Amino acid sequence: MLSTTLSRRLEQREIHYGWIVAATAFLTMLVTAGTIGAPSVLILPLQKEFGWEATEISAALAMRFILFGLMAPFAAALMNRFGMRSMALTALTVVFTGMGLSLFMREVWQLVVLWGFVVGTGTGLTAMVMGATVATRWFTARRGLVVGLLTASTATGQLVFMPLIAALTEAYGWRAAILFILGMLFVSAAAMLLFMRDRPSDLGLRPYGQVVDDPPATSTLKTNSPIDTLIEASKTRIFWVLFLSFFVCGASTNGLIQTHFVSLCADYGMTAITATGILAMIGLFDFAGTVASGWLSDRYDNRWLLFWYYGLRGLSLLWLPFTGFEFLGLSIFAIFYGLDWVATVPPTVKLTARHFGRERANMVFGWVFTGHQIGAAFAAFGGGFIRDTYASYLPALMIAGALCLMAAPLVLSAGTTKLKPATVS
């Protein structure tokens, strides 16, 4: 197998194969995130071609966000059982099918089924739990940095692809943008097939930075049951603090800005290409901010990091209406907001792993991530509803900013109680 040969050659050069696994996961998460983010660029073209209202399209996008989150803990369980490569290939196939069939849609219910249900389910089979799984299984040292890199791939994929998708849509129509996405999904599937391995032990390795083997697990029953994991985790304060704060995170990023920013800027006369350029700028600064957050999360109290992240994000959202939606003001917003886009993820994953252990971290984080996507769905639908009702997105911005300022002190209340290890019954 190619991965075995490559691992041996890298070992001779003192390079751990975990970095290849991380790079493969990076590409997969980048592409699936781009798939998640693409529909927000296509809201206006779909309205123009089919006459659908923003609320109708937002309902499909909200379903996509909910399924993207609800599948996460079950995706973690399936990864634990069948392996990351098998689940990622299955997910990419489902997403490819949903996006491919959307080339022929004509009715709004088809949008809901394909972009809401099919794409939401497929992307949810990897979601952000793939990054958490790779980081916790393959890395002991540099875990926070790896989480930061993989998290950055998700946000970057959602934002950086948007200018290209917007340009393709303007030049050739929205179906050309879908064809580009299908090509990227194919490339990602090929990389996953060739390079991904489930655990370091598959190649006779230890996790990066670990000098002794992990002790054998005392039980696999609870580890492989997402429902049992949820029941146990929900008895702890730390779980609900992370869940509620991540609800706010999803509402203030994916749900509102990612979904409605292009339409928001259009209300002020800005073209889709210019607006997606601002989103790409957010994505680039997010990459730097999230990687830096991973580095910081290995060194400082993760609760205080989250306090500053949520607080600064809330202030950025409250300031956005005062930019005048001119390029200079929006560029300043993009810098400060972008540095904080998903910087919350590395500290959240670190807190999850610290309190719930290496083997259950991905499933517990999957449930926390469900809160993120419920918040995203809330803002995606709520933003469209507010726009149709009040002819303005500004109330939605005020609500999102206020929620962030409420989440900032909440994360400081996270306790230190850890979930007890599972035992054989």
Q: What's the pLDDT tens digit per position in 141-152?
A: 887 778 778 877
Report the CATH number at residue 34: 1.20.1250.20
Query: Following CA atoms 350, 354, 360, 362 in sequence, which dihedral angle do they give, to the nearest 10 degrees?
Result: 0
Query: Rounded to whole angstroms, how far apart are CA atoms 393 and 264?
Result: 6
In a domain, 256, yes or no: yes
- Domain hosting residue 239, numbered range: 9-199+222-411
The answer, yes or no, to whether residue 191 has pLDDT greater than 50, is: yes
Res 260: pLDDT: 87
In a domain, 348, yes or no: yes
Res 315: pLDDT: 94
In a domain, 38, yes or no: yes
In a domain, 340, yes or no: yes
Tens digit of each residue's pLDDT (9 = 90 or more) over 31-89: 887 787 777 778 778 888 888 877 778 777 777 777 877 787 788 778 878 888 898 89
The answer, yes or no, to whether residue 180 has pLDDT greater than 90, is: yes
Q: Where are the alpha helices (DSSP H) in 173-258?
A: 174-195, 226-233, 237-250
Q: Is 423 exposed, middle or buried (0-12, 13-18, 19+ CB in 10 A)?
A: exposed
In a domain, 4, yes or no: no
Report which of 87, 384, 134, 354 is spatially closest to residue 260, judged by C-alpha positions: 384
In a domain, 157, yes or no: yes
**Percent of the chain whose predicted confidence (pLDDT) is above 90:** 23
pLDDT tier at 314 (50, 70, 90 boundaries)?
Answer: very high
The number of folded domains in the chain is 1
Query: Rounded to whole angstroms, how far apart are CA atoms 63 and 66?
Result: 5
Tens digit of each residue's pLDDT (9 = 90 or more) over 227-238: 888 888 888 899
The answer, yes or no, to whether residue 222 has pLDDT greater than 50, is: no
pLDDT tier at 221 (50, 70, 90 boundaries)?
Answer: very low
Q: Is 83 left (phi over 0), alpha (psi -120 to 50) or beta?
A: left
Rg (CA), the chain: 21
Please give the full DSSP string across 107-158, using - where no structure is assigned: SHHHHIIIIIIIHHHHHHTTTTHHHHHHHHHHBSTTHHHHHHHHHHHHHHHH
Query: Rounded to whole angstroms, how far apart are CA atoms 26 and 151?
Result: 8
In a domain, 416, yes or no: no
In a domain, 212, yes or no: no
Query: Rounded to whole angstroms, how far apart are CA atoms 41 and 272?
Result: 7
What rounded mean pLDDT belongs to the chain?
83
